[in-house]
Amino acid sequence: MLAAEWHRLRRRPALAIVVVAIVGLTALAYGLGLSSALGSRGLGNVPDEVMAQRIAPFGFPQSGAAALQNAQLLLVALLAYLSATTVAGDFMLGTIRTSLLARHDRAGFILARLAALAAVAFVLCVVVTLLGLILPWVATLVGADLPAAGRLEPAAIAAYAAAVLLVGLVVIALASFVAMVTKNAGLPILFVGVLFFVESAVASATATLSGPIASVAYYFPLTSVRTLADRAQLAASDISLVPGAPGIPSHAPGVPVLALVGMAWIVLACVANVWFLRRADIDA
Work out the pLDDT band at 1, boundaries 50, 70, 90.
low
**What pLDDT does residue 163 have?**
95
Number of domains in the chain: 1
Domain that holds residue 88: 2-279
11 in a structural domain:
yes
**What pLDDT does residue 36 have?**
81
If one compares 235 and 83, the residue with the highest pLDDT of the two is: 83
CA distances in angstroms from 250 to 164, 192, 213, 227, listed in the order given: 21, 27, 13, 12
Mean pLDDT of the residues in the chain: 85
**What pLDDT does residue 262 have?**
96
Are 63 and 30 spatial neighbours (Cβ–Cβ below 8 Å)? yes
Q: What percent of the chain has pLDDT over 90?
A: 44
If one compares 190 and 279, the residue with the highest pLDDT of the two is: 190
81 in a structural domain:
yes
Are 32 and 124 spatial neighbours (Cβ–Cβ below 8 Å)? no
Q: What is the pLDDT of residues 225-265, one digit of tens each?
A: 999 999 998 888 766 655 545 567 777 888 999 999 999 99
Plot region of 253 (φ>0 → left; ψ -120 to 50 → alpha; else → beta) = beta
**DSSP per-residue codes, 94-108:** THHHHHHHH---HHH
Q: Which helix (DSSP H) or strand (DSSP E) does residue 82 occupy?
A: helix 62-93
**What pLDDT does residue 239 have?**
62
Q: How many residues does the chain have?
A: 284
244 in a structural domain:
yes
Whether residue 284 has pLDDT greater than 50 = no
65 in a structural domain:
yes
135 in a structural domain:
yes
If one compares 45 and 163, the residue with the highest pLDDT of the two is: 163
Least Cα distance to 69 among 238, 266, 260 occurs for 238
Q: What is the pLDDT of residues 60-71, one digit of tens each?
A: 888 888 899 889
Which amino acid is present at 210?
S
Q: What is the pLDDT of residues 266-282, one digit of tens each?
A: 999 999 999 998 887 77
pLDDT, average across residues 199-210: 81
CA dihedral over 245, 251, 257, 260, signed as positive or negative:
negative
Contacts for 14-17: CB closer than 8 Å, 24+ residues apart: 14/81, 14/82, 14/85, 14/86, 15/82, 15/120, 17/81
Work out the pLDDT band at 172, boundaries 50, 70, 90.
very high
225 in a structural domain:
yes
**What pLDDT does residue 48 have?**
66
**What pLDDT does residue 50 have?**
66
Are 89 and 179 spatial neighbours (Cβ–Cβ below 8 Å)? no
Whether residue 176 has pLDDT greater than 90 = yes
Q: What is the pLDDT of residues 114-168, one digit of tens each?
A: 999 999 999 999 999 999 989 988 888 887 777 666 666 788 899 999 999 999 9
150 in a structural domain:
yes
pLDDT, average across residues 192-216: 83
pLDDT, average across residues 33-45: 71
284 in a structural domain:
no
**What pLDDT does residue 151 have?**
67
Phi and psi at residue 254, in whole multiples of 5°? -80, 180
CA 242, CA 240: separation in Å to the nearest integer?
5
